[in-house]
Structure 1
């Protein structure tokens, strides 16, 4: 198995950060600081957050949505290594590229966007421009839009799609990343190499339930961190590795006997159990 293990934030990790941020909001922003290289991350600046009140944070897929007064928004995609940090003091963590300085009901508050690899993206947008931006995302896989009927529709419209790499397409499965895709296929008992046209209604029902199971387990444990990558808003690692059944595993966590196989699909490492997945 590959020993270089990095966790790219997926839906459970972003949901964890969202929940932590909301616990310290609302916040009156007094200053906004950008690093010298923040232009590689901040793509749009329709407004300045200085003097604005940050009311709440929501999430769609792997994207955080910051709601400011006056119907202003910030979209924050975490990329490969991005995270938001919460502090009562200036955040001097290396690679902090955007920092909101202000106060909440308890006193001084600092929110910092940390991103060592700078593959994340941030957009300061009006409500209308945010709506246009979000059109590129498909149904959030944790939402009521993600149904068996939706999966049956995708099977009809995209019959030749290979299921595992298809799960990574955010315009169809918003929120799913690489470790989740392998785990969903495993828990659904579906080989990652199968095409949509081969999946029965029962297979798709299993896929739906497997998605919920993977999400619930990972969110409950604060996301998933391997030896590097994701940390939550307080710099803590997620404990979701305890729930994994195939991803980076040597023996399948479902049957507890078969050796997990690794293949590459659409350029991404993919793990599956040859016994449990058909």
Structure 2
């Protein structure tokens, strides 16, 4: 059986230039406006607080729009991703912005070996990251391995409850069909297109993904010596997760058009390494 990383890497390699050219990532606005940060980091900023002077790493950084945004807020940032095409776009963006951000090509589970143990004040990971990983426990072990004592994890992610939804019926009811809990075998998807506006015709449509329940995520962090300091569920996500049933606001966040209080769509968790 082909390795899930190889399958997913060609998927992301193909999408990286399409994403960089899409108005949804707003790269030209980042270049044109010296104080601009990504919509994702702008959403996170009130909870994220002051990151000035922090040694930070952005895991699964993709094309680097959130990574350079952290740098614009004053952090000394490293970005890590397994997709060389994504990192090419990230390095090009950092260069256009005149920012000193170092990017590393590696699987997230190899981050400690590549970047060094207990070297960071902040581990940042954003929307759409952990679903590509088969083991949330290994991810939490990696986070703990990267953080210095007292260092902090900041993660906002799509809610596992959202990822159980198959579709929205004509009467507005949500259909739960997919696994909530982590499974040994991946969910295998073969779907055209991507989550941003693009005219690029994409050929690599196969992906392997995993859901991870909230209890599994928090327990994994606790098991690896992190103390949960904040957990907040949100009624929005930064992409149209349920097409035709959502409305976008002026922040670029999407919520259910009807009954938005029915389903958590994303969450933010913060944790500090204590042991």
- TM-score, normalising length: structure 1: 0.27
Larger RCO, structure (CA 8 Å, separation 6 or more): 1
- TM-score, normalising length: structure 2: 0.27
Task: Determine which structure has more spread, i.e. the larger CA radius of gyration.
Answer: 1
